Structure 1
Amino acid sequence: MKAKVMEMEMENKKLIDSPTDTTLRVDRGKWSTVVRERHVDTHLVKRLKDEKGLSETAARVVAGRGVAPEDLWPSLADLDPPALLPDIAKAAQLIAHAVVNEIPIVSASDSDSDGNSAQAIIYEALTKHFDVPQGNVLAIAGHKLKSGYGLTQKLVNDILAWRENEPKLIITSDMGSSDEPRIRQLKEKGHRVVVTDHHEFPVVDGRPSIPESADAVVSPARPDSEYPDRKIAGCYVAFLVMTQVRQELINMGFLPAEAPKLTNLIGLAALGTVVDCVSMSRSKNNRALVRAGLKQVREGIRPCWRVANRMVRGGYVTSEDFAFLLGPAVNAYSRVGDPLGGANFFLAPDESIADFWWTALETANEKRKKIERAMTEKALKQAEQQVDQGRRGVVVFLEDGHAGIHGINAARITERFGRPCGFFSPQYESDEMLTGSFRTVEGFHVKQGFDAISKDNPDILPPGSYGGHAGAGGARIKKQHLETFRQLFDHEVARQVGERQLYPTIETDGWLEPEKVDTCLVAELESLEPYGREFPEARFMSVFRVARVRTIGKEGGHVKLVLKSGKRQYQAVWFFVDDKCRPKYGVTYTVVYAPKWNHWKGEKRLQLMVVGMLPN
């Protein structure tokens, strides 16, 4: 059986892809959710079993994500040489020159988790490893709610105002690729600029346009880059640059040959890498980095990691905790509070200060959740209307929206309807400009979509008003152009995906006999870390009978279950269950689930995390 379709009052035509498809029913309104078994290369399964000693089940999980044995558990020794990044030697020389000659340095970053991680890496490398006085370094980040994305004019004004009569070196991280006009402005004022980034460049006259006013542009996205991995995050680019600066300072005699390496910063790069949703299957660098970073976090080598271990049930931080606990808190605070709140948490000198910053991050995240809940229902209704109209690309606009929830709500709409989505609201203190975040599905490249729209409609989406990569992006448009942009976005989605039907999809790792679901399997699945984009957690399908069911949660939106198969029974939980599809006692279901550990009172037990159920 290759695929199943979960549906409710299905109206879509030609939705089922194969004659072996069957129908499941869950609450998705009019739109079907396909539960599809991943394609698995049987030769790769055999290699993984033979070379890595994996069980059949675990080998099928890894093979379904296309990861070869040699790339499953890479070490730091397997990392690609940083010298292959374009301009990295020039960047290292410029930064080292500024360090030695006490030239003021500005570290300007994006304000999300990737940017905050990069900011912490650069700041600590400069001030602790290279002994630059803190007063000689300005750490700065844009507030997306107030000033938008990238190296904005407000950031440039703030940079120029700091020690305004002195020439400075500006290092950008996780931004800068689309900011030539502002970089040129800095250059004309006598400053030097080093761009470190991973985002794709604006396309001008059919070619990527690298900011020519920058003194160095270090990015794997450059068309002339010899670095073999274009999937790394901005924080890792910043980390690689600073490692080269260390070596340059040693070559100059400023640091001794035995100067400590920057390995204590790897955990920071690991967190930003996971949260920025870069590939965990097609990048051995990302897998090696995150594996090493998680080890540092669990060992608590920094005060912030010791606090993180206390915040996580079981005290064992995973990549899932990066993605769904630590990352969202950093992102939320950067949007509703200090854009560098995450960096302050990462750089906390002791646990009491780290605790202070974590409380601030967590409080901001709770505020973000309340805003999100208030906006989600409105956004989903608007998206539903557009899907009813046949739109393949959805663009939502809320007059009372909030930049802090753009990306999250866009992701929720994409998940619900299986279509690329943009979520706009008015720019801070402006009735004329809108800012938005975009998320996508397989087959639609966000940045390339922006480029195509901008090329033919520069008045609607001017170059420099957007940025991003394959999986996500952000843009600014005039409010008067909203409906035209909706049409252009829909057309571009249709152009990229062709005739392929778009619908919500849950990919599984196939059928699994209930007797194989045990603690050994969960431990083995845990060993496959790191999980993340393109290497999601394992999900299976099995048949169970409901032996117990009760409602849990403040608003009764979740259910706790006991599922039985023969004489075996399993604890299970299903979050955010619609009233129409609540499981019933005594009924047998086909269940889609992820086997996990449930940490409780110092112990861990097997628990099934349910994502869908079909009455048999």
Structure 2
Amino acid sequence: MSLGIECLLATDTDAALQAARTLDKLNQERRAIETRMKEQALQHLSDLQQSTTHQDWTVCLYHPDWHQGVIGIVAARVKDSRFRPTIVFADDQEGMIKGSARSIPGYHIRDALDRISRTRPGLIVKFGGHAMAAGLTIHQSDLDLFRQLFEDDARTHLNEETFQIEILSEGDIEPRHLRLDTVRILKQSEPWGQEFGEPVFDDVFMILTPPRITARQGLIQVSCQNSNSRYEAATFKPDILKGLQAGNRVRIAYRMDINRYCRPERLRLMIEHIEPFQEERV
């Protein structure tokens, strides 16, 4: 029986508490691994970009020290940061590496793997997934070949317009509705998906505090104000907050979320995009 199930089924308070503490420790270790892997992946990408004159249309990364348990999370983080179809690999067994893929709108990642598999039979040992996420296994010795075929496939089936990020917003929301009750109502419509995206809103805010890293690894937080109300806003995308300072007026596209890491729970705006606000002149 797994530790999580043991914790849920425990009839003794002390045993349940001990299991919960162990689970929390394991989760903290996983987060630390995730953060380290993401930092290594983004640094590797930065090094590649500085050493080449062209911009790849895909991201395909591998490191022998990376952990299989978090490659999916890291792939999602890198995809969000670079807005490129992304595959992150980790060692599997006997010369194999296992990859977790995340894609962007307009590029069906499972179909892409199928095309590569038909182009070079045997290159991909096994794969499966759907439009936006997939998993695969290849021989470590075939990584360079796979990386090139992945890039070639993307350049065949995508165009430069694909990489123009489009954010569909519901517009602004009245300040009286920016509260926890509204978030809880919205969450009743979950799960969100590719054709049923989580609602995004946008409005103009004044930044009150500069970005800071929170105790939750990888999360960057700022405080902002709108209509005399102060809000907590955060993102896992550090690049979009570069240069942001207290006093800036910005337009923020955000999702409404609940910060469950504090008591009592608080409303949190998860930033999808941020840009300087410019008054329209007549």
- Regarding TM over 0.5, the answer is yes
- Do the aligned partners of 2:250 and 2:275 also contact (CA within 8 Å) in 1? yes
Letter in 1 for 2:78: I
In the alignment, is residue 584 of structure 1 matched against residue 249 of structure 2?
no
1:466 equivalent among 108, 127, 133: 127
**Which runs of structure 2 are paired with 1:171-250 in the superposition (5 Å)?**
none
1:380 equivalent among 42, 63, 71: 42
Query: What is the CA–CA distance in structure 1 between the aligned matches of 2:9 and 2:176, rounded to whole Å?
Result: 44
**Which runs of structure 2 are paired with 1:364-513 in the superposition (5 Å)?**
364-384=26-46, 385=48, 389-428=54-93, 430=94, 432-462=95-125, 465-495=126-156, 497-499=157-159, 501-503=161-163, 505=165, 507-512=167-172
Q: 1:437 to 1:499 in 2, by over 3 A?
A: same
Query: What is the CA–CA distance in structure 1 between the aligned matches of 2:30 and 2:262, rounded to whole Å?
Result: 29
Q: Is 370-379 or 500-509 further displaced after alignment?
A: 500-509
Unaligned runs of 5+ in 2: 278-282
1:511-555 per-residue CA deviation (whole Å, 9 max, x = no partner) reads 215546444872574364324333443221111223556746359
**Which runs of structure 2 are paired with 1:156-167 in the superposition (5 Å)?**
none
**Which runs of structure 2 are paired with 1:255-334 in the superposition (5 Å)?**
none
2:231 equivalent among 571, 574, 582: 571
Query: What is the CA–CA distance in structure 2 between the aligned matches of 1:516 and 1:545, rounded to whole Å?
Result: 18
**Which runs of structure 2 are paired with 1:25-64 in the superposition (5 Å)?**
none
The alignment partner of 2:167 has SS state of strand
Q: 1:606 to 1:451 in 2, by over 3 A?
A: closer
1:472, distance to aligned residue in structure 2 (A): 2.0
1:602, distance to aligned residue in structure 2 (A): 6.3
- Do the aligned partners of 2:100 and 2:134 also contact (CA within 8 Å) in 1? yes
Q: CA RMSD in A?
A: 3.6
Query: What is the CA–CA distance in structure 2 between the aligned matches of 1:587 and 1:613, rounded to whole Å?
Result: 11
The alignment partner of 2:207 has SS state of strand
- Do the aligned partners of 2:123 and 2:138 also contact (CA within 8 Å) in 1? yes
Letter in 1 for 2:165: T
Letter in 2 for 1:492: D
Q: Mark the structure with the bigger radius of gyration.
A: 1
Letter in 1 for 2:42: L
The alignment partner of 1:490 has SS state of helix
The alignment partner of 1:485 has SS state of helix
1:349, distance to aligned residue in structure 2 (A): 5.1
Q: Is 485-494 or 407-416 further displaced after alignment?
A: 485-494
- Do the aligned partners of 1:417 and 1:503 also contact (CA within 8 Å) in 2? no
Q: 1:512 to 1:441 in 2, by over 3 A?
A: same
1:558 is aligned to 220
Query: What is the CA–CA distance in structure 1 between the aligned matches of 2:183 and 2:90, rounded to whole Å?
Result: 44
1:569, distance to aligned residue in structure 2 (A): 1.8
Count of residue pairs the alignment pairs up: 270
1:206-265 per-residue CA deviation (whole Å, 9 max, x = no partner) reads xxxxxxxxxxxxxxxxxxxxxxxxxxxxxxxxxxxxxxxxxxxxxxxxxxxxxxxxxxxx
Letter in 2 for 1:365: N
1:420, distance to aligned residue in structure 2 (A): 1.4
The alignment partner of 2:161 has SS state of coil
- Do the aligned partners of 2:101 and 2:109 also contact (CA within 8 Å) in 1? yes
Q: 1:532 to 1:357 in 2, by over 3 A?
A: farther
1:111-151 per-residue CA deviation (whole Å, 9 max, x = no partner) reads xxxxxxxxxxxxxxxxxxxxxxxxxxxxxxxxxxxxxxxxx
1:586, distance to aligned residue in structure 2 (A): 3.0
Letter in 2 for 1:507: I
Q: TM-score by structure 2 length?
A: 0.77
In the alignment, is residue 608 of structure 1 matched against residue 273 of structure 2?
no
Q: 1:380 to 1:502 in 2, by over 3 A?
A: farther
Unaligned runs of 5+ in 1: 1-339
Greater RCO, 1 or 2 (C-alpha within 8 Å, sep 6+): 1
Letter in 2 for 1:363: K
Query: What is the CA–CA distance in structure 2 between the aligned matches of 1:347 and 1:356, rounded to whole Å?
Result: 12
1:170 is aligned to none
1:101 is aligned to none
Query: What is the CA–CA distance in structure 1 between the aligned matches of 2:167 and 2:8, rounded to whole Å?
Result: 38
Q: 1:501 to 1:458 in 2, by over 3 A?
A: same
Q: 1:553 to 1:422 in 2, by over 3 A?
A: closer
The alignment partner of 2:124 has SS state of coil
1:388, distance to aligned residue in structure 2 (A): 6.1
Query: What is the CA–CA distance in structure 1 between the aligned matches of 2:222 and 2:134, rounded to whole Å?
Result: 37
Q: TM-score by structure 1 length?
A: 0.38
Query: What is the CA–CA distance in structure 1 between the aligned matches of 2:92 and 2:214, rounded to whole Å?
Result: 35
1:362 equivalent among 6, 20, 24: 24
More strand by share: 2
Query: What is the CA–CA distance in structure 1 between the aligned matches of 2:269 and 2:31, rounded to whole Å?
Result: 25
1:405, distance to aligned residue in structure 2 (A): 1.9
